[in-house]
Structure 1
Amino acid sequence: MRERQLRRRCRALLRELDVPAPFGPRELCRRLAQHRGRPIRLVPFAIEQPGPFGIWFATDAADVIVYQSQTTPAHQEHIILHEVGHIIAGHDGEPRLRTAYDSRPEWEAELIATILHEWAGRGDGLGEAAAQAADPNRQAALERIGHALSGGGGWS
């Protein structure tokens, strides 16, 4: 599935679920579970590192998302949203222990997690114009960074 299609599908589902922004991943999971007619169980677990941060698998009775308990709450939210991304994308629910986004399913799940994060009000989600208005120094800072990275004389 292409990025544009994934974005449309994800936003349509969020509208259908009537998820208000801002929202947390647990509320999203609750509404998605109701919509799908099967529970989503969130299980914090100290997953050994290096290794995956989260795993989603489907059982006959429920979807189970195991996520790293030994990380920050913000990272835990992102892990959960990534695993929810697999559910939304219609992946097969077989546990995969990948630690990189080098496959199509992992890329799709990460893109959906990003969309959900933005929709949830967890990212800046403002759009460029609103971000500019919220921080008038942002454009100047971006220009200085761009200038420095292009070899234009440092961070002055």
Structure 2
Amino acid sequence: MRPTERSTVDRRVLRGRIAEAIDGVEIPRPFEIGEFVRRLGKHRGRQIHLFAVELPTANDVRGLWLATGTEDFIFHELGTSRLHQENTILHEVAHMLLDHRGNGHLDEAQARVFFPDLDPQAVRDVFGRSAYSRVLEQEAEFGAAVLWDLIGRRLVPNRELDPASAAVVDRFDEVLGEVR
């Protein structure tokens, strides 16, 4: 990443926006992504639907958020680990909470992947957003990491850190900008 790209994402502002957006959402304990998304949808007054789909390995897309006038749809990869699915869902939730609007459109290949039984042109006409700028993708990646933190889970499975060590790792993460 070029230094100028890193400076385009204000992490403190994004953290505040994400925290404010989920303020009042009760985090399920133990955490379960489907229940969290259900509660978030109820909080926002818009039902959120999750769909696991088979994605071609050659496709770079691992998830997609589509918004209609009344509901949100999050598509995520079926053929991957639960942790990766959850991270993809949280990445798409971050796009949603940050009110990202794409700067492009679904291409025909993406339309066929997510809606194989529908006419690709009709899908593109209805859901005319999918491509995000690099900055918006960085914001969503950081937003997903913020969500992991706010819900009290770490991305590193089966590894517990004492609070002091976790604080050091988090500080390195903040300074270096590498969310793991």
SS state of the match for residue 17, structure 1?
Answer: coil
Moved over 3 A (4+): none
> RMSD across aligned C-alpha pairs, in angstroms?
2.9
Distance (whole Å) between structure 2 residues aligned to residue 81 and residue 120 of structure 1: 11
Alpha-carbon shift at residue 68 of structure 1 (Å):
0.2
Q: Does 1:112 align with 2:121?
A: no
The unaligned stretches of length 5 or more in structure 2 are 1-8, 103-127, 170-180
| 1:42 pairs with 2:76 | no
Q: For residue 67 of structure 1, what is the amino acid of its counterpart? A: H
3-state SS of paired residue (1:43)? strand
Per-residue CA distance 1:17-68 (angstroms, 9 max, x = gap): 2335653322221122112211100000001122211011112341110100
CA distance in 2, matches of 1:20, 1:106: 27
Name the count of aligned residue pairs. Answer: 130
Specify the code of the residue in structure 1 equivalent to 2:78: S
% identical aligned pairs:
35
- Which consecutive residues of structure 1, in runs of 5 or more, have no partner in the other structure? 140-156
Alpha-carbon contact 1:22-1:121 (below 8 Å) kept: no
User: Counterpart in 2 of 1:13?
Assistant: 21
Deviations 1:118-137 (A, max 9, x none): 22232079xx871539xxxx
Letter in 2 for 1:122: R
Query: Which one has a bigger Cα radius of gyration?
Result: 1
Q: Is the CA contact (8 Å cut-off) linking 2:65 and 2:73 kept in structure 1?
A: yes
Match of 1:91 among 77, 93, 100: 100
Between the aligned partners of 2:36 and 2:96, the Cα distance in structure 1 is 12
Q: For the residues of structure 2 that align with 1:124 and 1:82, how far apart are their CA atoms?
A: 13
State the partner residue of 1:103.
Answer: 134
